[in-house]
Amino acid sequence: MADIQVAIVGTDAVAAMEALLAIDGVSGTYRVDGETDREGILVTIATIVGLVGGTLAIARFCLSSGQG
């Protein structure tokens, strides 16, 4: 499997990225890209190197993370 890169932007970007990488079957690392801007917005970039049966879980995460 080729590495997958994912970006999450927002004030809770780090927490969201940690939650994404905590999904069972997903493995990878993330980094914060740049610094926090005036509104507290961060950009995190993850490189997912392993995805075993977590595709549906990632889809659910993406759908639910935008709602709240």
Strand 42-51 and strand 26-32: the pairing is antiparallel
- Chain segment 26-65, per-residue pLDDT in tens: 888 989 887 777 777 788 888 887 777 667 777 787 788 7
CB 47 within 8 A of CB 7: no
Q: What is the pLDDT of residue 67?
A: 53
Number of independent structural domains in the chain? 1
The residue segments making up the domain with residue 50 are 4-65
- The encoded tokens of residue 59 equal 């889809």
Q: Is the pTM of this model over 0.95?
A: no
Q: Helix, strand, coil: what percent of the chain each, to 5?
A: 30, 35, 35
Q: What is the pLDDT of residue 68?
A: 43
Q: How far apart are CA 36 and CA 10, in angstroms?
A: 10
